[in-house]
Amino acid sequence: MESFLFYVIAGVTGLCAIATVVTHNIVRAATWLLFTLTGTSAIFFLLGADLVGATQLLVYVGGTLVLVVFGVMLTAQGPFISMKTSSAEWAISATVGLVLLVVLVLGVMSLPQSGLRRPPSPDTADTDLVDKAMQTTNLNNNDAATAPYSAVIGEGFLGVPVGPPHIERPDGAPRVVRASYLLPFEIVSVHLLVVLIGAAYLARAKRRRGASS
Amino acid sequence: MASPLFADTSFVWFVALAVIAAGALIGFMLVSAIFSVWLERKVAGRIQDRLGPTRVGGKFGWLQTLADGMKLLIKEDIIPDAADHMLFRIGPYIALVGSFMGFLALPFGLGVVAMDMNVAVFFMLAAMSSEVFGIILIGYGSGSKWSLFGGMREAAQMVSYEIPMALCVIVPVVVAGSMNLSQIAIQQSGGLWNWYVFHDPFTFGAFWTYFTCAMASCKRAPFDLAEAESELVAGFHTEYSGFRWLAIFMAEYGSMVAVSGIASMMFLGGWSTGLPVEFATLFGGFETLQFTIGGTIVDLGMGFGNTINVIVFIFKCWFLVFIMMWVRWTLPRLRIDQVMMTCLKYLVPISCVLLMGVSLWQLLLPFWLNDVCRWLIFGLSILGLAWFLRTIVTFASSKPGEGMPGMWRTTGLPGYQGAKQTP
């Protein structure tokens, strides 16, 4: 049942993404981009990630796209409304897109969660560790560190180890660890601060030096 | 999203249940819109000292909205030449879908919810923020400058007011400890004094601030310069007629009901009547009233209790919508610079102070002081409500010329008694 819904949502999202690139009118391209991002948030909801899906709606659809459409709509005059891509541009962009697709698919397929990797051979495997590491779903909510509550994300940002476990193999005995997300949180906060300061600087009221009688 | 209920039943059963749930929500949204249009015209009439619709469907004009709807359905569908055809057509439906998506996470009773999400409040705010894009497309796609002005003003206003609205919504979430709307409503059961609006002065302030931001976000007066009838012909929906105009207004009234639903869930106790009893669990749990259909237990007593809950919740939503209409027909319209100043200079700092205050309140205050403050605010609110009702009643029964200050009195005064008659 989920696969049927996934095919429908992913198909519509893909078609809208293609329409974004193919259409000649720039405001319509922004509208197709809206549907693409809404489709992405629908896939998040299908995966059970309610918080991420709602964040996608709030940030992308309600914020970023509104800004994009404002900018596009108010500055696109006459010759800039209609965009036509030449065939050389089509060739280059298709090649780059295909290369990116191949890289992403290979990267996703090599993760242990995708189930396509060959299981480790029995003589070097720590079977219970491998079992623990392969546990990435938490359907019965018996693991507090991967429960689907937003409080878990908040704790992860503050330094508590959360999320699915993975195997760490130092020189001594291998052990199962979880990651905490304090450092990425701090990096992103500083990044946001830099962006805010930059935006405030760029949008400041400039003093006019010329004589105005 | 995959609940164990549907893991082993068929695909058709799941689709049928989803269709029934969506149909019920759409039905509620449209019936609310129909009722709100009628109520708007009656309230507007009464405030303007006239009667409103009185002819269609009896003495009170109950079927006026139905007649309006039928008229709009058979109107000619006009699309201007300069309009972008696809965007003109698709705009109202994006607004309608954005407004409807908010209802998916709104509980109407104990367990009466389409999707019981742990991040219900966040989802509702996020879903209703996608309505802005519909408004922009409506304004731009019409190809006329009145619509573009109205659409741009409206989009700026809606996006700006999302900030204080979200901050005010976080205030009761901090008190409740959860974003799950069912949990928040359950925590407020057991008496009128448990409602979060009386919990502490910061939540009390957050209710009024949230209501103001909600009115601005739904482009209701005094923030309705998107429509601005006296300035911009009809604002962003100037070029729309017939069913497309109806879709825009369904979206607007749907948003009004949705934000009223959030307000009543988070501040006014949700589905609880104020009596210290929960009807769903009072009537539920009796073996004689239960029977099973295909693996699920249907409890008729709980269903009856939940019916009371749903009726109470819908009444609260509609009462808040009535207050929005009351404010609309009382206050004059704000200019766009006044609207943005209200948001950025007043409501955002007030919301930040409320959020900080409630966080400190939750952390620092001892338990006994919390109860004392709650009873204090509850008592003061009851006194304030009593004074307010007394003022309304005495004003309504005062003689003409006595109640309104500054009105020109022609009788009972020494001095000028009318023009002197020349002999």
Same domain, A108 and A153: no
What local confidence, expressed as pLDDT, does residue B324 receive? 93
* 8 Å CB contact of B127 and A54: yes
Phi–psi pair at A48, nearest 5 degrees: 90, 5
Same domain, A99 and A141: no
* 8 Å CB contact of B118 and A149: yes
Same domain, A63 and A131: no
pLDDT digits (tens, 9 = 90+) for B282-302: 877 777 777 776 666 777 888
Same domain, A79 and A3: yes
Q: Looking at the predicted structure, is the pLDDT value of residue A16 above 90?
A: yes
Q: What three-state secondary structure class fits A164? A: strand
What is the residue type of A83?
M
Tokens describing residue A65: 């796209």
Distance to chain A for B380, nearest Cα, Å: 35
Tokens describing residue A169: 């193999």
Q: Which of A117-121, B58-62, B238-242, B387-391 shows the lowest mean pLDDT across its residues?
A: A117-121
Residue with more model confidence, A166 or A17: A17
Q: Looking at the predicted structure, is the pLDDT value of residue B407 above 80?
A: no
What local confidence, expressed as pLDDT, does residue B62 receive? 85
Distance to chain A for B403, nearest Cα, Å: 48
Same domain, A162 and A103: no
List the one residue out of B324, B319, B320, B286 whose CA is nearest residue B305. Answer: B286
Distance to chain A for B145, nearest Cα, Å: 12
Calpha distance B241→B138 (Å, rounded): 12
Same domain, A2 and A45: yes
Q: Looking at the predicted structure, is the pLDDT value of residue A187 above 90?
A: yes
Same domain, A109 and A143: no
- The pairing of beta strand B290-293 with beta strand A175-179: unpaired
Distances (CA, A) of A31 to A17, B407, B419: 10, 55, 68
Q: Is B133 on the interface with A (CB under 8 A)?
A: yes
What local confidence, expressed as pLDDT, does residue A213 receive? 42
Tokens describing residue B336: 């766009």
Q: Which of residues 29-88 of B touch A (CB under 8 A)?
A: 84, 86-87
Same domain, A78 and A1: yes
Chain A residues closer than 8 Å to B11 by CB: 1, 4
Residue B290 parent element (H or E): strand B290-293
Q: Looking at the predicted structure, is the pLDDT value of residue B1 above 60?
A: no
Q: What is the DSSP letter of B196?
A: G
Measure CA B53 to chain center.
23
Calculate mean pLDDT across residues A132-139.
54
Same domain, A2 and A80: yes
* 8 Å CB contact of B122 and A34: no
Return the number of CB contacts < 8 Å for A and B. 82
pLDDT band at B280 (very low <50, low <70, confident <90, very high): confident
pLDDT band at A131 (very low <50, low <70, confident <90, very high): low
What local confidence, expressed as pLDDT, does residue B233 receive? 64
The region, left, alpha or beta by phi > 0 then psi within -120 to 50, assigned to residue A61 is alpha
Calculate mean pLDDT across residues B48-69.
86
pLDDT band at A130 (very low <50, low <70, confident <90, very high): low
Domain count, chain A: 3
Calculate mean pLDDT across residues B146-154.
81
Domain residue spans in chain B?
80-279+317-364
Angle between helices A2-22 and A26-46 (to 10 degrees): 160
What local confidence, expressed as pLDDT, does residue B26 receive? 92
Calpha distance B241→B30 (Å, rounded): 19
Same domain, A26 and A67: yes
Phi–psi pair at B393, nearest 5 degrees: -65, -45
The region, left, alpha or beta by phi > 0 then psi within -120 to 50, assigned to residue B206 is alpha
What local confidence, expressed as pLDDT, does residue B297 receive? 73
* Out of A4, A48, A69, closest to residue B136 by CB: A69
What local confidence, expressed as pLDDT, does residue A116 receive? 57
b/e B311-343 (16+ beta carbons within 10 angstroms → b): ebbbebbbebbeebbeebeeeebbebeebbebb
- Using only C-alpha atoms, what is the Rg of chain B? 24
Nearest CA in chain A to B6: A1
Q: Which long-range contacts (CB under 8 A, 24 or more apart) does B300-303 make?
A: B302/B110
A111: how many CB neighbours lie within 10 A of its CB?
A: 11
What local confidence, expressed as pLDDT, does residue A212 receive? 44
Tell me if A11 is assigned to some domain. yes
Nearest CA in chain B to A71: B152
Same domain, A37 and A73: yes
What local confidence, expressed as pLDDT, does residue B418 receive? 60
Q: Looking at the predicted structure, is the pLDDT value of residue A19 above 80?
A: yes
What is the residue type of B358?
V
Mutate to test the interface with B, among A31, A65, A77 (most CBs of B within 10 A): A31
Chain A positions touching chain B (beta carbons under 8 Å)? 1-2, 4, 25, 27-28, 31, 34, 38, 45-48, 50-51, 53-55, 57-58, 61-63, 65-66, 69-70, 73-74, 148-150
Q: Looking at the predicted structure, is the pLDDT value of residue A90 above 70?
A: yes
Q: Where are the alpha helices (DSSP H) in B267-417?
A: 279-283, 300-328, 336-341, 348-364, 367-396
List the one residue out of B227, B257, B253 whose CA is nearest residue B240. Answer: B227
Calpha distance A164→A138 (Å, rounded): 9
Point out the domain boundary residue: A96, A118, A140. A118
Nearest CA in chain A to B158: A62
pLDDT digits (tens, 9 = 90+) for A93-113: 999 999 999 999 998 887 766
pLDDT digits (tens, 9 = 90+) for B92-119: 999 999 999 999 999 998 888 888 888 9
Distance to chain A for B13, nearest Cα, Å: 11
CA B299-B188-B262 angle, to 5 degrees, is 90
Residue B140 parent element (H or E): helix B131-141
* 8 Å CB contact of A27 and B84: yes
Calpha distance B314→A92 (Å, rounded): 57
Nearest CA in chain B to A47: B1
Per-chain mean pLDDT for chain B: 85
Same domain, A74 and A4: yes
Query: Whats the size of chain B, residue-wise?
Result: 423
Tell me if A96 is assigned to some domain. yes
Tell me if A2 is assigned to some domain. yes
* 8 Å CB contact of A2 and B127: no
**Could you tell me which residues are beta bridge partners of residue B290?**
B299
Tell me if A212 is assigned to some domain. no
Which residues constitute the domain of residue A112? Answer: 87-118
ipTM of the predicted assembly exceeds 0.90: no
Mutate to test the interface with B, among A26, A34, A82 (most CBs of B within 10 A): A34
Tell me if A197 is assigned to some domain. no
Tell me if A213 is assigned to some domain. no
Calculate mean pLDDT across residues B160-189.
92
